[in-house]
Structure 1
Amino acid sequence: MDPIIAATHTDPYPYYAELRAQGGLVFHPELKMWVASSARSVCAVLAHADCRVRPAQEPVPKAIASGMAGEVFGQLMRMNDGERQRCPRSAIEPSLAMVDLDEVRARVAARLITADADGLYKAMFRGPVCVVAALLGFNPAQARAISELTADFVACLSPLSNDLQLAAAHTAAEQLRGYFIELLAESKSGLLSGIKQRFEGDQETLIANLIGLCSQTYEATAGLIGNALLALRAQPELRGESIESLLAEVQRFDPSVQNTRRFVAQSCDIDGVRVEAGAVILVLLASANRDPALNEAPERFLLDRPSRRSFSFGGGRHQCPGQVLAMGIASTTVGEILDHGVNLERLAWRYRPSLNGRIPLFSFISD
């Protein structure tokens, strides 16, 4: 076990507890990086001005730097600091906060869900992106195309992707860009109109971050939905309880994003530890969520947990701006899946290959 493999391990949480016992911020010699595992160290890293989201010498991964996926990647607010992060965020975050959740629920409910493995996969991965695309102003056919292209584009975000997947990601980025150019020319959606009014950058940066909104929805929301279904499978007594309360605890207890990384721009002290310029810090968000210093009785799954605290949607200047939207889509989708009679007892699963995500892929056990 190591802190990266842990993300897709059957149960990484006892291992995370061992890491916390060693100290909040500790150097891992095999991985050649620092590991922040406690709530205090995670908070310190996420808040530190010298901890950046990309290394200065490689703002875009070399594997994608020469294609359209790399161009999009380089403009994403989540992959930048400073003004390149603040400008798109100041336009997108307020608009996402004002999304009508009743409209979100209606759009989720309007989608066809079938009680088989393919239907479950589409509900988890394709459905949420379709909802976001529809909110931005795409028609149903276009929204389905956006969700399919987003599935190809997200390959550029993973170091595990092969050459064929990266080539498909470049193609998808080109096509997504074309869809958004046409959409921006029409601009009928209230959500998109609000973003455009607040946005002060160039159109290419806006397009890149609209693609980024879809790509973040794709994996993180799928993991949230899938891990909620696993919680219900493990604890049948939770069925019939508030799905919103269930999702609120799932995102803390078993988050879809287990870790993130920060790159130290210049030598500095973090949580009492001297860290040199060029160092990499693996930030274990999921471990911090289970720190007793953050949540009382953190190993218990409590729907009515008082003063729930979580790093699952990040923290500081890079905290996810779409948390309310993601939780609304996920909770409604879980409700629809249950209403369509999916038999949770027959679910089998493995976790999608990832260095930081905990996203179950389901199949059904044969009778």
Structure 2
Amino acid sequence: MDPITAVTHADPYPYYACLRARAGLVFDPGLGLWLASSAAAVAAVLAHPECRVRPPHEPVPRAIAHGAAGRVFARLMRMNDGERQRCPRAAIEPGLQQVHGEEIGQRVTALLPGLPNDLGARLQHCQFRLPVAVVAGLLGFSAQQLPAIAERVADFVACLSPASSQAQLDAAHRAAEQLSRDFTALLGQTPGSPLLQRIVKGFGAEDRDTLIANLIGLLSQTFEASAGLIGNSLCALLKDRHLLAELRAAPSRVDELLAEVQRHDPPVQNTRRFVVAPCTVAGVSLEPGDGVLVLLAAANRDPQLNPEPDRLLLDRQARRSVSFGSGRHQCPGQALALSIASAVVGALVRHSNLEQPLGWTYKPSLNGRIPLFHPLPESR
């Protein structure tokens, strides 16, 4: 196992504990990257101004640099530092914080009748398509448009993975072009949805291409992060039938489950930072061009961050987590993501036969931990 293959391993956490025991930043010659695995080292890297989200020589991945997906990527706030990150964030974050959980629950409920009957297909739809449909609906797309928007987002997110094939990249470029047209049409409608109005107002003089790119980014971030969070919460329930029974008896505890799962088995296991100037981080001297693999999942289970870190405790006191990042790049939609995932998992607990024997494998990924469910052979 290495820090990349650990992401999709059945249980990577003992391995992460071994990495943490080495403390500080440790160089991995096989990957050619520094590893930050302890809570202190992860916090230091995420906070350091010389550790950026993209290498200066390659602000957009070469594979998509000359297409529509690359043009969107170049403007995403989460793929930039400085003003190109701060300005879009300042426009989008306040609007997201004003979305109420009650409205999210209503939108999830409205989408439930369209779910597949097959349990495996139902779970996958709830992981990937349903959260995107909720956010797209909040932005003002009609119910009839939601399935197509979700499919285009699914195609677009392929461009974010270095492991994507040329066919997937071609589909991502087409999806980026169509999503740009979709948002251009949506922005031409008046009045827009309350959320869209707040975001547009926040952008002020920002150019329309940056606005549209970050609206696409809002949907693309929803896609895989929600899929992992919902999926890993379901894994926790499938492993512990007593916990499933507890949630059915006390549905309000679903929020506590999601809050703990995002710490205990997070959907995004690692992220990267690239050094742009000589600096010292966690006691290690770094040079321009150095890369750091930031092991968020390892830090979450650092005893310095949370006592009894390997236990999944719904009533955990003073829970601390870096799953959504920290500092200037902390996810602006954290509360929204947790609300959507909570509503979806709550609906599945109430309305799906989770007693059916299910297995899962993890979607191939370099940083996302996303289970894909399937019926076990003996259950057929």
Instruction: Tell me the TM-score normalized by structure 2.
Output: 0.95
Pair 1:191 & 2:202 matched: no
- 1:334-355 CA distances to partner (integer Å, 9 max, x unpaired)? 1111222233451111100000
Tell me what 1:84 maps to: 84
CA contact (8 A) 2:360 2:374 kept: yes
Tell me what 2:107 maps to: 107
- 1:255-280 CA distances to partner (integer Å, 9 max, x unpaired)? 00000000000110001111111100
Pair 1:40 & 2:40 matched: yes
The whole-number CA distance in structure 2 between the counterparts of 1:9 and 1:24 is 24
Q: 1:206 is matched with which residue: 197, 205, 211?
A: 211
SS class of match (2:144)? helix
CA contact (8 A) 2:263 2:297 kept: yes
Output the amino acid matched with 2:50.
D
CA contact (8 A) 1:229 1:344 kept: no
The whole-number CA distance in structure 2 between the counterparts of 1:236 and 1:258 is 25
- 1:93-148 CA distances to partner (integer Å, 9 max, x unpaired)? 00000002111000001112335211111111000000000000000111221101
Give structure 1 regions of 4+ aligned residues with deviation exceeding 3 angstroms.
none
Tell me what 1:148 maps to: 151
- 1:199-224 CA distances to partner (integer Å, 9 max, x unpaired)? 13100000000000000000000110
The whole-number CA distance in structure 1 between the counterparts of 2:302 and 2:360 is 27
> CA shift at 1:313, angstroms?
0.5
Pair 1:125 & 2:119 matched: no
Change (3 A) 1:178 1:39: same
Q: 1:290 is matched with which residue: 298, 301, 311?
A: 301
Q: Quote the RMSD (CA, aligned, Å).
A: 0.9
> CA shift at 1:188, angstroms?
1.7
Q: 1:215 is matched with which residue: 215, 220, 227?
A: 220
Output the amino acid matched with 2:70.
G
Change (3 A) 1:143 1:307: same
Gaps of 5+ in 2: 248-252
> CA shift at 1:175, angstroms?
0.3
Q: Which stretch shifts more, 122-131 or 334-343?
A: 334-343
> CA shift at 1:331, angstroms?
0.7
CA contact (8 A) 1:64 1:70 kept: yes
Q: 1:159 is matched with which residue: 126, 139, 162?
A: 162
The whole-number CA distance in structure 1 between the counterparts of 2:287 and 2:93 is 33
SS class of match (2:30)? coil
Q: Which stretch shifts more, 38-47 or 229-238?
A: 229-238
SS class of match (1:35)? strand
CA contact (8 A) 1:150 1:172 kept: yes
Gaps of 5+ in 1: none
* Percentage of identical aligned residues: 60
The whole-number CA distance in structure 1 between the counterparts of 2:121 and 2:239 is 22
CA contact (8 A) 1:69 1:170 kept: yes
The whole-number CA distance in structure 2 between the counterparts of 1:123 and 1:4 is 26
SS class of match (1:140)? coil
CA contact (8 A) 2:27 2:34 kept: yes
- 1:139-182 CA distances to partner (integer Å, 9 max, x unpaired)? 01112211010000000000010000000000000000000001
- 1:51-81 CA distances to partner (integer Å, 9 max, x unpaired)? 0000000000000001000000000000000
> CA shift at 1:249, angstroms?
0.4
Q: How many residues in Structure 1 have an aligned counterpart in Structure 2? A: 367
1:1-367 equivalent positions in 2, closer than 5 A: 1-111=1-111, 112=113, 113=115, 114-186=117-189, 187-200=191-204, 201-239=206-244, 240-241=246-247, 242-366=253-377, 367=379
CA contact (8 A) 1:228 1:247 kept: yes
Instruction: Tell me the TM-score normalized by structure 1.
Output: 0.98
SS class of match (2:158)? helix
- 1:304-332 CA distances to partner (integer Å, 9 max, x unpaired)? 10100000001110000001111111011
The whole-number CA distance in structure 2 between the counterparts of 1:183 and 1:69 is 20
Output the amino acid matched with 1:280.
G
> CA shift at 1:89, angstroms?
0.2
The whole-number CA distance in structure 2 between the counterparts of 1:16 and 1:278 is 25
SS class of match (1:2)? coil
The whole-number CA distance in structure 2 between the counterparts of 1:229 and 1:164 is 31
CA contact (8 A) 1:152 1:165 kept: yes
The whole-number CA distance in structure 1 between the counterparts of 2:356 and 2:265 is 19
The whole-number CA distance in structure 1 between the counterparts of 2:133 and 2:32 is 40
